[in-house]
Amino acid sequence: MSYFLDRKFAQILKDCNEVGWDGYGAKIITPETIAVAKVFANLVDSYIPLLNEDEPMPCNDNVIGFEWEVEPNHASWLIVCVGVEGCYYASSFRGTPEYKGKFQMPDVPPTIFTLLERIKLEKEAQ
């Protein structure tokens, strides 16, 4: 895993260690959730450079979100949220919602890799 991601995960753990860290009652981001996020990041390592600038991001339900997006107008995107209690994903390509689902780590569905490849190809075509 990259030094950047390691630092980002450490910062999330530090910033999200109290209930309500988001000002709206968010759950604590636990070390176990960070561990799951690190496993996911390692599995999709070649796609990490394509992440949006602020990613990965903590989410209020004790999951870590990874978002890939194609500009302009955010017409194509993939969001994957990973956590100890479960993981989920959703995508849209050229404005049409396409896939959504749930999974448990470390069993990342092949669909996610297919979607990541589509995001990569669209970014390269820009």
Domain boundary assignment for the chain: 3-125
Give the span between the Cα atoms of 100 and 111, in whole angstroms: 10
Indicate if the pLDDT at residue 64 is higher than 90.
Answer: yes
- pLDDT for res 96: 87
- pLDDT for res 13: 97
**Whether the predicted model's global pTM rises above the 0.85 cut:** yes
Q: Which helix (H) or strand (E) holds 115?
A: helix 110-125
| Percent share of the chain, pLDDT over 70 | 98
Reported confidence tier of residue 24, pLDDT bands at 50, 70, 90: very high
Reported confidence tier of residue 53, pLDDT bands at 50, 70, 90: confident
Sheet with 63-70, strands from edge to edge, namely 57-59, 63-70, 76-82, 87-93, 96-103
SS3 82: strand
Give the span between the Cα atoms of 113 and 15, in whole angstroms: 30
Mean pLDDT over each residue of the chain, to the nearest integer? 93
Q: Are 41 and 88 in contact (CB under 8 A)?
A: no
Question: Which of 19-23, 41-45, 58-62, 72-76 has the least mean pLDDT?
Answer: 72-76
Give the span between the Cα atoms of 84 and 6, in whole angstroms: 18
Indicate if the pLDDT at residue 10 is higher than 90.
Answer: yes
Q: Which residues contact 79 (CB under 8 A, 6 or more apart)?
A: 65, 66, 67, 68, 89, 90, 91
**Residues 79-91 pLDDT 10s:** 999 999 999 999 9
